[in-house]
A and B are shown apart, each in its own frame.
Chain A
Amino acid sequence: MSQLARLLGFFPRVLRPFEYFEAEALSEATQILSEYGEEAKALAGGVDLVPRMRRRLLIPKCVVSLTRMREVDYIKSNGADGLKFGPLTSIRSLELSPLIQKDYLALYEAAHQIASIQVKAQGTAVGNLCVATPASDIAVALFALGAQLVIAGPSAERIVPIEDFFTGVGQTILQPGELVAEVLVPHPPAGTGSAFFKLVRTAADIAKVNAAVALTIADGICQEARVALGSVAPTTIRARKAEEILRGKIIDEKLINEAAEAAAQETRTITDLRSTAEYRREMSRVLVKRAIGKALERAKA
């Protein structure tokens, strides 16, 4: 990123010109995105896209604004069908939703721990997902909650589990012309508890490591476990081995430690200016341990 500035030989202060369209329906947006392919970007909150453009990390030929499509800014729930929200739903509205605070705690906590109110009020959850940073707090919570994404494009809609959405650092399965039209979060069955943890340098910082766990307990036995980790691999991951250890068992301290250790083994951590590979690996274990403990407490409550 600073590489680019270095190659430019100067520091950009303003945006370069681009072709601009305003979509009034998702179909219009996908139409333009199809036409321009890789050279177009969709604009929602702009909190990531606009600075990225200013810094010349991205120089799209075309920007398609979704900002006039207020009808895709919603949080809906059908009770048993779960929760859904649209591409313009802000992270702050997820945080403030009484439903999410009650039944989808990991998502609430992920949203709440993003410190800047402005970033949350303006930034959208879908936008955050599409940036596809492995450090995304929203992604790791949605992994734990078993979310699915509805992808709209020039051809038919498709629904993909969120685990299949990310393919690499900054990479998603979205093809040219495609958009995330909706996020679906299934209603947690009775006896489910979830929790989110992250480690940061200051409160308003990108995570060094983040983790979210959702457990469903019935008759004292773990019926379902989802353990998700972020910032420890090129994409957000599910720690499947850790989940296997928990599933079908009575979760005690020994089992938690075992699962947490397994989760740490599933990471592929790196060293960067936020943290070291060794620390991230070790903290994966600690955060998963804490998240399992908290989720368990909430599941039993």
Chain B
Amino acid sequence: MSQKFAIVGRRLAQADTPIKATGAARYAADIKLPRMLVGKVLRSPYPHAKIKRIDKSKAENLPGVEAVITLEDTPKIPYASSFRDLPMAPSGSLQRSDEYILADKARYVGDAVAAVAAVDERVAEEALRLIEVEYEELPFAVHPRDAIKPGVPRIHDYAENNIAVRVGYPLAEGDVEKGFQESDVVVEETFSVTKQVSGHLETQTTIASVDPTGKVTCYSPCQLPFPLRRELAKAFNLPEGMINVVSPFVGGSFGARLSVYNEPIAIALAMKTHRPVKIEYTMEENFTCVHTRTADEYTVKMGFKKDGTLHSMYMKVLTWSGAYLGRAQLAGAITLVWGMGHYRCPNRAGECEIVYCNTTPSAAMRGYGNPEVMWGVEQVVDMAAEKLGMNPLELRLKNIRKTGEPSNFGLPIESSYLEDCIKSGAVRMGWKEKWGKKRAGRRGVGMATMTHCSGAYPLLMEHSGAIVKFNEDGSVNLTINPGSPGTHIWGALSQIAAEELGVYPEDVHVVTGETDKTLFDLGSHASRSTYVAGNAVLEASKEARKQLLERAAKMLDVSPEELEVGDRRVYVRSAPERGISVTEVVRSAMWDLKGECLNIAGKSSFASRWTSPPTAAYFAEVEVDTETGEVKVLKFITAVDCGTAINPMTVEGQCEGGIQQGIGYALTEDFVVNRETGVLESDNFTTYKMLGTLDMPETEIIIINKPDPKGPFGAKGVGEPATVGVAPAIANAIYDAVGVRITDLPITPEKVLRALKEKQSR
């Protein structure tokens, strides 16, 4: 049961929202620096081409143009846009550096070939038009099945048949073939998922400037400021200390901002011109060049005993990477980890091939392989339930892993309340009354479940550092840099600090947003911030609290163990009226010139050594129009186990947003590349359809709110769980409604109608 907290658990408004509401918050495109130039990128019009010659002389001579650069003008040090040197646990690095600041060869329509810095956008555009590039077109392949065919030219020299890497399931165990033979029911099905676009409204914008000492300042929306700093240091052969990554407000990330984009180009232009340079993408540029969710085709095979026990599981995945690896390499491998780590199963194996193709690279969109794979796994579970004659809810309850069992990452699960999620969601959806009833009006219900992670340990070694210091007015400066992804992480971290320190949330000033000013923090990914950065904040707060109590103890003439802190006061636990304000303690510590002077502050370096995976159950109710094939989601319920909800209002907000993205993934969002030309056809919101207000169903978010032993005040991650199981719940609901199963995303009315007709004719 959750403890009573003073600050944690409250539905607090976030401190940075008033300035967002008034328009005062500055995002990268809003920032103006003195003498700033506009940078703009020239991109390949061909999906695959050698770059024979670039003549930039006309562009350079255009008045108002300050610099024109090509690959030759940059240090030719390869890097991985997804961070080659992301700290890795002993499992070893799978990353490969396959990019340069500007392309050595054009590998997709949109690949960066040259760049200019000019006094304004119009001159910059004119300059780009004056750059002459001689290309030699090469045969290309948009789809991985085409890219691996013999005779197709290599996109990267090292990758035979364009296969970048083959990966096996790292936690394989048992003997899957034997397991299938021993199973009573075996289900095998093939699925495919699309390159969902993160769809953040703020286009990718970066500003770089170099000061007279050579120190680089880079304003970037990147979710991982310190890894970005390290990657830039490598690319430019600079010491890390000569780069300061600054995080402005960011208009949404969702995993797309994990990668390096226009930062190196902006820096190269700033170095050449000795002026700040801003590169602002258009939305079409965003769609074409910002990394998408990884797409895959995969087969899931699951074998069950007749009592429903899952006995054997195998997956084979073909991952569609794109022109560069981005994060597809890890996403491909992690897909196996999510897919086979959710249920208990003694025999598990899998393989993944990651393929280059001449399209936009793939990265790690929200869920990072988990939504991709649960799309298939949760449908196979329903298919098996049907063969077994079991309610799919019961089949799931039988096989989900429990607290103490190995997690999807192999270490013991610190806490799992997935059973609570399933049961409470089922009640609220009316599962018993609605499922399997073939109701009139073509309505059906479906469910899905998942396990994610709170930080990626032990697959990635990751840590956060925090500093907590008291000011003499009783307020606290909390220095932490989890990145600025546009979630409300600072608010949660402030609540954690305030709870521990006995002050109010508004007393916590968050100092963040610059790598120079903050301790190392990996940044925002893998739903790690509440759990890992939160624990760092808690540790630092504990240290500061300890010092506060020690000082107060001297002032009150008691021992520190007798003291408690809350409501901005330090007081004797057994005699609360005996106390002193936090302000007085700190003021005395800082300004007691006659006595002992000290700072009251704490510092931490925290690395997670456990796995506290968040879990969730998703329930969808749909109505299918059998004449048009249209699917309407009537109601969607997400029941989430994210430990203690530091701020239930923001947890709900994450889940509601995750439903919008999940339903889009399921029904309406499709990344369409023309296979004849390699050109992206769905390159803005006109063609790529995300849900608006009228498309959302009625939603309900259930927060189980039971604490995890290792999370800060019991919290686990929630950002990605918000969306992982939405699509398969809908697929399963459609099957319940009209008996057809769609295995390739998105579920369009065209596909549903076709499936209904095929079913009728059988």
Tell whether any CB of A sits under 8 Å from a CB of B in the complex.
yes
Interface residues of A (CB under 8 A from B): 2-3, 5-14, 16-17, 55, 115, 199, 201-206, 273, 275-276, 278-279, 282-283, 286
Instruction: Tell me, yes or no, whether B399 is within 8 Å of chain A by CB.
Output: no
Closest B-chain residue to A271, C-beta based? B750
- The 4 nearest A-B residue pairs measured at CB: A203-B694, A11-B285, A11-B282, A279-B750
B45 adjacent to A202 (CB under 8 Å): no
Docked CA distance A4–B628 (Å): 34
B125 adjacent to A2 (CB under 8 Å): no
Closest B-chain residue to A204, C-beta based? B692
Closest B-chain residue to A55, C-beta based? B284
| Among B60-68, B362-370, B675-683, B709-717, the stretch in contact with A | B675-683
Docked CA distance A5–B707 (Å): 52
B628 adjacent to A2 (CB under 8 Å): no
A11 adjacent to B43 (CB under 8 Å): yes
B692 adjacent to A12 (CB under 8 Å): no
Instruction: Tell me, yes or no, whether B44 is within 8 Å of chain A by CB.
Output: yes
B43 adjacent to A10 (CB under 8 Å): yes
Instruction: Tell me, yes or no, whether B374 is within 8 Å of chain A by CB.
Output: no
Instruction: Tell me, yes or no, whether B690 is within 8 Å of chain A by CB.
Output: yes
Selected contact of A6 from candidates B45, B125, B687, CB within 8 Å: B45
Docked CA distance A275–B672 (Å): 12
30 pairs across A/B with beta carbons < 8 Å? A2-B674, A2-B679, A2-B681, A2-B683, A5-B284, A5-B683, A7-B45, A8-B129, A9-B43, A9-B45, A9-B133, A10-B40, A10-B41, A13-B280, A14-B121, A17-B122, A55-B284, A199-B749, A201-B668, A201-B689, A202-B689, A202-B690, A202-B692, A202-B694, A204-B692, A276-B750, A278-B750, A279-B749, A279-B750, A286-B628
Selected contact of A282 from candidates B109, B288, B695, B753, CB within 8 Å: B753
Instruction: Tell me, yes or no, whether B414 is within 8 Å of chain A by CB.
Output: no
B681 adjacent to A199 (CB under 8 Å): no
Docked CA distance A180–B289 (Å): 41
Interchain nearest-CB distance for A275 vs B (Å): 6
A199 adjacent to B750 (CB under 8 Å): no
Interchain nearest-CB distance for B250 vs A (Å): 19
Using A3-B679, A199-B630, A275-B750 as known contacts, say yes or no to A13 and B282 having CB atoms under 8 A apart: yes
Interchain nearest-CB distance for A125 vs B (Å): 20
Instruction: Tell me, yes or no, whether B596 is within 8 Å of chain A by CB.
Output: no
Q: Which of B254-288 contact A (CB under 8 A)?
A: 280-282, 284-285, 288
Interchain nearest-CB distance for B653 vs A (Å): 21
A11 adjacent to B281 (CB under 8 Å): yes
A273 adjacent to B687 (CB under 8 Å): yes
Give every chain B residue within 8 A of A276 (Cβ-Cβ).
750
Give every chain A residue within 8 A of B44 (Cβ-Cβ).
9
Interchain nearest-CB distance for B157 vs A (Å): 25
A3 adjacent to B677 (CB under 8 Å): yes
Task: List 20 extra interface pairs beyond A3-B677, A115-B692, CB under 8 A.
Answer: A2-B284, A5-B683, A8-B45, A9-B42, A9-B45, A10-B41, A10-B128, A12-B125, A12-B282, A14-B121, A201-B668, A202-B668, A202-B692, A202-B694, A203-B694, A204-B694, A273-B681, A273-B682, A283-B628, A286-B627
Docked CA distance A11–B684 (Å): 12
Docked CA distance A152–B44 (Å): 45
Give every chain A residue within 8 A of B670 (Cβ-Cβ).
273
Selected contact of A14 from candidates B43, B122, B627, B753, CB within 8 Å: B122
Interchain nearest-CB distance for B428 vs A (Å): 26
Docked CA distance A283–B749 (Å): 11
Docked CA distance A217–B672 (Å): 46
**How large, as a class, is the contact surface on chain B?**
35 or more
Docked CA distance A12–B749 (Å): 34
Docked CA distance A198–B47 (Å): 36
Q: Which of B173-201 contact A (CB under 8 A)?
A: none
A202 adjacent to B680 (CB under 8 Å): no
Give every chain B residue within 8 A of A206 (Cβ-Cβ).
686
Closest B-chain residue to A6, C-beta based? B45
Closest B-chain residue to A280, C-beta based? B750
Using A10-B43, A11-B288 as known contacts, say yes or no to A202 and B686 having CB atoms under 8 A apart: no
Instruction: Tell me, yes or no, whether B691 is within 8 Å of chain A by CB.
Output: yes
Interchain nearest-CB distance for A55 vs B (Å): 7
Give every chain A residue within 8 A of B677 (Cβ-Cβ).
3, 6
Give every chain B residue within 8 A of A2 (Cβ-Cβ).
284, 674, 679-681, 683
Give every chain B residue within 8 A of A286 (Cβ-Cβ).
627-628
Docked CA distance A115–B693 (Å): 10
B689 adjacent to A205 (CB under 8 Å): yes
B753 adjacent to A279 (CB under 8 Å): yes
> Residue among A5, A17, A279 with the most chain B CB within 10 A?
A5
A13 adjacent to B109 (CB under 8 Å): no
Give every chain B residue within 8 A of A279 (Cβ-Cβ).
629, 749-750, 753
Give every chain B residue within 8 A of A17 (Cβ-Cβ).
122
Docked CA distance A282–B45 (Å): 37
Give every chain B residue within 8 A of A16 (Cβ-Cβ).
122
B691 adjacent to A202 (CB under 8 Å): yes
Closest B-chain residue to A3, C-beta based? B679
Give every chain B residue within 8 A of A205 (Cβ-Cβ).
689
Docked CA distance A219–B42 (Å): 69
Interchain nearest-CB distance for A57 vs B (Å): 11
Closest A-chain residue to B688, C-beta based? A273
Give every chain A residue within 8 A of B668 (Cβ-Cβ).
201-202
Interchain nearest-CB distance for B628 vs A (Å): 6
Give every chain B residue within 8 A of A278 (Cβ-Cβ).
750
Closest B-chain residue to A209, C-beta based? B628
B681 adjacent to A203 (CB under 8 Å): no
Give every chain A residue within 8 A of B125 (Cβ-Cβ).
10, 12-14
| Residues 610-630 of chain B, each 1 if its beta carbon lies under 8 Å from chain A, else 0 | 000000000000000001111
Give every chain B residue within 8 A of A282 (Cβ-Cβ).
753
Docked CA distance A115–B674 (Å): 28
Docked CA distance A120–B288 (Å): 29
Interchain nearest-CB distance for A163 vs B (Å): 27
Give every chain B residue within 8 A of A203 (Cβ-Cβ).
692-695
Docked CA distance A278–B749 (Å): 12
Interchain nearest-CB distance for A232 vs B (Å): 15
Give every chain B residue within 8 A of A8 (Cβ-Cβ).
45, 129
Closest B-chain residue to A5, C-beta based? B284
> Residue among A2, A12, A199, A203 with the most chain B CB within 10 A?
A2
Closest A-chain residue to B127, C-beta based? A10
Docked CA distance A8–B41 (Å): 12
Give every chain A residue within 8 A of B694 (Cβ-Cβ).
115, 202-204
Give every chain A residue within 8 A of B128 (Cβ-Cβ).
9-10
Give every chain A residue within 8 A of B121 (Cβ-Cβ).
13-14
> Residue among A8, A13, A286 with the most chain B CB within 10 A?
A13
Give every chain A residue within 8 A of B45 (Cβ-Cβ).
6-9
Give every chain B residue within 8 A of A115 (Cβ-Cβ).
692, 694
| Residues 78-99 of chain B, each 1 if its beta carbon lies under 8 Å from chain A, else 0 | 0000000000000000000000
Give every chain A residue within 8 A of B628 (Cβ-Cβ).
199, 283, 286
| Residues 116-139 of chain B, each 1 if its beta carbon lies under 8 Å from chain A, else 0 | 000001100100110001000000
Docked CA distance A11–B285 (Å): 6
Docked CA distance A276–B486 (Å): 38
Docked CA distance A198–B693 (Å): 18
Docked CA distance A45–B41 (Å): 31
Docked CA distance A273–B194 (Å): 14
Interchain nearest-CB distance for B404 vs A (Å): 44
Docked CA distance A33–B219 (Å): 47
Closest B-chain residue to A116, C-beta based? B692
> Residue among B44, B122, B281, B691 with the most chain A CB within 10 A?
B122
